[in-house]
Amino acid sequence: MRRLRHLRAEGNRIVCEGREMVNLSSNDYMGIGADPVLWNEFLSSADRNEFGGGSCSSRLLTGNHPAYASLEKRLAVLYGAESALVFDSGWHANVGLLPALTSSKDLILADKLVHASIIDGIRLSDAECIRYPHGNLERLETLLEKRREDYDNVFIVTESVFSMDGDCADLRRLAELKRKYGAFLYVDEAHAFGVRGKRGLGLAEEQGVIAEIDFLVGTFGKAAASQGAFAVTDDVFREYLVNTMRPLIFSTSLPPVSVRWTEFVVERLTGMESSRRHLERLGERLRERLTTAGLETAGKSQIVPLIVRDNRKAIALSEYLCENGFFVLPIRRPTVPPGGERLRISLTASLTEIQIETLSELCARIGR
């Protein structure tokens, strides 16, 4: 059974039930959440009289604080887009966008491994859905060839960096298919925003296809160490979503201090290129060491799975690593299917190469 643990974060370390460990289960990819200097800089530069308490209302009533407009304008400029729209969380975004955008006359073609929030959004929509095998773009094109003419609109839906395998979508090829078959392309950059691309705008920036994506979704709760999410799109769709997207219409808006902190971080993320390169090297090194030790891993990102394919073994290995100073939790069903049990090692730019070497040695010692 899963349980809620008593935790306290201290920099890139975590204290769990009295035991202090290196935190490898957080999504604080850029180490911003572990950086008190940035937080203190924010507090010293902010106008605290502007913050108040909570917003106490949805954005359509009295909760649309000026901080929203400032953040959305900054995002639109960064992405070279007409508009951006900020939501309460990545879950709110994914569970609300597709139901608002689609009808019973539309088709959603989604990668088999998209996040649970996207799956729930699909279930709430009236559209038909087919989930193609993970990363199998040949199968996706076959579906487009056979089914495109049967629907008013087709939405191709994918993550960019997948949260459990740490692998990356071929966004260039997806953009080609989108153009060829007149579809919409919806990309969730939750695990790539802040981490990939020269300015940290995600895998779409890295692969040079930002302009090809109709709905680019990102979250602030991971690399940006804040809360909330956003979608980058055009003016028409933004206005449409403001009038139809239920999680936006009926949710209390974020506290203004949170939105201001997000913009403060976004300004600085664009200049963290050296930290992104360091994080990339850590991921490459850890995968290399695990593979050399005969262990199974996957992906090509800051998310490094150690795949053990056994529930008890995943739990035992997690406990062993925790006992030796590394907080890494087991991933089990229903998050992954039976036989996909693993440890999900979530790296952060605040880690050192020495810590990666120590972790590798521990995994190799009992991982087999």
Which residue out of 12, 25, 94, 115 is catalytically annotated? 115
Residue 324's Cβ-side half-sphere holds a number of Cα atoms within 13 Å equal to: 16
Active site residue 159: yes
Which residue out of 160, 191, 263, 360 is catalytically annotated? 191
Tokens at 223, concatenated: 């690399």
Q: Is 342 exposed, middle or buried, given 0-12, 13-18 or 19+ CB atoms closer than 10 A?
A: buried
Which residue out of 25, 27, 117, 258 is catalytically annotated? 27
CA–CA dist 294, 279 (Å, integer):
23
Active site residue 189: no
Tokens at 52, concatenated: 């108040």
Active site residue 35: no
Residue 146's Cβ-side half-sphere holds a number of Cα atoms within 13 Å equal to: 8
Alpha-carbon distance values, 353 to 101, 190, 293 (Å): 45, 25, 17
Active site residue 12: no
Active site residue 188: yes
Active site residue 243: no
DSSP 8-class letter at 326: E
Backbone angles phi, psi at 196, to 5 degrees: -110, 155
Which residue out of 72, 188, 212, 214 is catalytically annotated? 188
Place of tokens 């529930």: 311
Active site residue 278: no
Yes or no: say if 308 and 314 are a contact pair by the CB < 8 Å rule: yes
Which residue out of 28, 159, 165, 212 is catalytically annotated? 159
Which residue out of 12, 163, 226, 346 is catalytically annotated? 163
- Catalytic residues, by residue number, are 27, 115, 159, 163, 188, 191, 222
